[in-house]
Amino acid sequence: MKPWQKVLIFTLLNIPCFYALREYYDTRQVRLVSALLPSVVKVSPVGHRWMEQLVMTPEGLDIQKVYMGFGVMGHGSGVFIDKKGLIVTCAHVVEGTPLVEISFTSDKEKLSPKRYRTEGKLLAYVVGRDLANDVALLRVVNPLKGIRPVKVAKSVRKGTPVLTIGFPGPFNKYVTAGVISGSLNGAIFSDLVIAPGNSGGGVFDINGTLLGLARAMTGPYPIPTYQGFSVLSALDKINDLMEKYRGF
């Protein structure tokens, strides 16, 4: 066989492989997100709800707290990190209560002023908090079978492609992508777009490994030059909290 014939045969054989590999890499992120979705949950702190309201008093207008009953007090996101129902989230998501409602979708909340109902949802309790670094661990009371925990990384590098999954506002498990921008004073920064409700949602690399938690979005005040950056929890603090409270 002549050399040019060998080259031709080699080229023809590799064309299908080329398109197969391109299709594989084009859909890799889609398949990654699909695999991670069951590991991400909606975290809703439960407790006595109060609302500030303007009232008229003999002295004039005043602000008073009005009791709204026992129920959900907002929501954030969280990630399963073991098969026994341990969840990592941000401490500010579960501030002020040890009891948490866990759900896999953004179903409407069921509230009752006399008795709190949890049909179709899981209950969890806070087992550990690191308020300084905004990390908390939760444990599901009666974990379901088939929980898919994620692996937690030991380190994170600048420039790593990442994505986050969470429950921003009324949206159910929305995804945004970006890169790790750098770190400052122990916090990790990225260009991920996050919103209220994303807090505690996992930030993952292309292998589905947890690199941090969505924590906050920087705003125009007091550091306007930092607009557009999101703040992530420090990875080493997540690992420290896991080691400290995993058995609780």
Query: Which of 107, 140, 173 corresponds to the end of one domain?
Result: 140
Burial class of 247 by CB neighbour count within 10 A (0 to 12, 13 to 18, 19+): exposed
Query: Which of 140, 171, 205 corresponds to the end of one domain?
Result: 140
Same domain, 131 and 99: yes
Between 30 and 225, residue with greater pLDDT? 30
Please tell me the predicted confidence (pLDDT) of residue 109: 42
Q: Convert the pLDDT of each residue in 44-62 to its tens digit.
A: 988 766 667 776 777 777 7
Report whether 44 contacts 74 (CB < 8 A): yes
Band (pLDDT 50/70/90 cuts) for residue 68 is low
Report whether 129 contacts 136 (CB < 8 A): yes
Q: What is the mean pLDDT of residues 156-164?
A: 92
Q: What is the mean pLDDT of residues 191-213?
A: 92
Rg of the chain over all Cα atoms, to the nearest angstrom: 23
Within a domain: 43: yes
Q: What is the mean pLDDT of residues 17-40?
A: 72
Within a domain: 129: yes
Q: Convert the pLDDT of each residue in 165-201 to its tens digit.
A: 999 988 888 999 999 988 877 778 898 988 889 999 9
Q: Is the pLDDT of residue 79 over 90?
A: yes
Give the pair of three-digit tokens for residue 77: 């996101």
Give the pair of three-digit tokens for residue 238: 């997540």
How far is residue 228's CA from residue 74's CA, in Å, rounded to a whole number? 24
Please tell me the predicted confidence (pLDDT) of residue 113: 37
Average pLDDT over the chain reads 79
Band (pLDDT 50/70/90 cuts) for residue 2 is low
Q: Convert the pLDDT of each residue in 85-112 to its tens digit.
A: 899 999 999 988 888 989 886 444 443 3
Q: Is the pLDDT of residue 25 over 60?
A: no
Q: Is the pLDDT of residue 125 over 60?
A: yes
Same domain, 99 and 45: yes
Within a domain: 200: yes
Q: Beta-carbon neighbour count of residue 123 at 10 Å?
A: 15
CATH at 212: 2.40.10.10
Please tell me the predicted confidence (pLDDT) of residue 111: 39
Q: What pTM does this model have?
A: 0.76
Q: Which domain holds residue 210?
A: 161-235
Give the position of tokens 């990390």: 135
Number of domains in the chain: 2
